Amino acid sequence: MEIIGFSAAILTTAAFLPQVYKTWKTKDVSGLSLPMLIMFFVGVFLWLVYGFYKESPSMIFANAITVVSAFFLMYFKIIYSKK
Amino acid sequence: MEIIGFSAAILTTAAFLPQVYKTWKTKDVSGLSLPMLIMFFVGVFLWLVYGFYKESPSMIFANAITVVSAFFLMYFKIIYSKK
């Protein structure tokens, strides 16, 4: 059954990465909301903690990648908004 | 420890809902990619199945809401793209 978790992890992570790439390339952060990014970052961090508690390899894998991606989006929002 | 899962569920779900609302109000789906939405929808559906397997109330709660939201985004993308 862990294969279902990993399939889920790959699909939802892969659907999120193009957003990070697009923001990095275009530097267009006008459509991104900082409070929402912060909520999302904290939420994904808590999912990561919960994944360790549930001893779920697929949750740890997915949320470790997503927490880093969410951090970059927050970072882009802050640095590109200043211009 | 389930409180951590529920905190995570509320934060990540709340960060996603404004996107659904914005798309519904503006009917602007130009920034949304249908293949990505389909991947995301299938991925979240698999997380829901995995949540049942892990007997995790917070995963079931979060993914049940998100799978419905993702379905609406796919639906909006299809109907508003035709115009």
Task: Judge whether residue B82 has pLDDT over 80.
Answer: no
How large is the average pLDDT for residues B35-53?
95
Look at B11 and A37 and tell me if their CB atoms are within 8 Å: no
- What is the nearest CA distance from B46 to chain A, expressed in angstroms? 5
Q: Which residue has the tokens 């569920």?
A: B9
Amino acid sitting at position A5: G
In order of their start, the domains of chain B are: 2-81 (1.20.1280.290)
The DSSP call for residue A28 is: -
B-chain residue closest to A49, CA distance: B4
How large is the average pLDDT for residues B23-43?
90
Q: Which residues of B touch A8 (CB under 8 A)?
A: 43-47, 49-50
- Decide if B10 touches A, using CB distance below 8 A: yes
Burial per residue of B25-48, b for 16 or more beta-carbon CB atoms within 10 angstroms, e otherwise: eeeebeebeeebbebbbbbbbbbb
Angle formed at CA B32 by CA B66 and CA B28, multiple of 5 degrees: 100
Note whether B36 and A15 are within 8 A (CB): yes
Structure confidence by residue, pLDDT tens digits, A16-72: 888 888 889 988 888 788 999 999 999 999 999 999 999 999 999 999 999 999 999
- Expressed in angstroms, the distance from the first to the final Cα of chain B is 48
How large is the average pLDDT for residues B76-83?
85
Please name the residues between 62 and 81 in chain A that touch chain B, using a CB distance below 8 Å: none
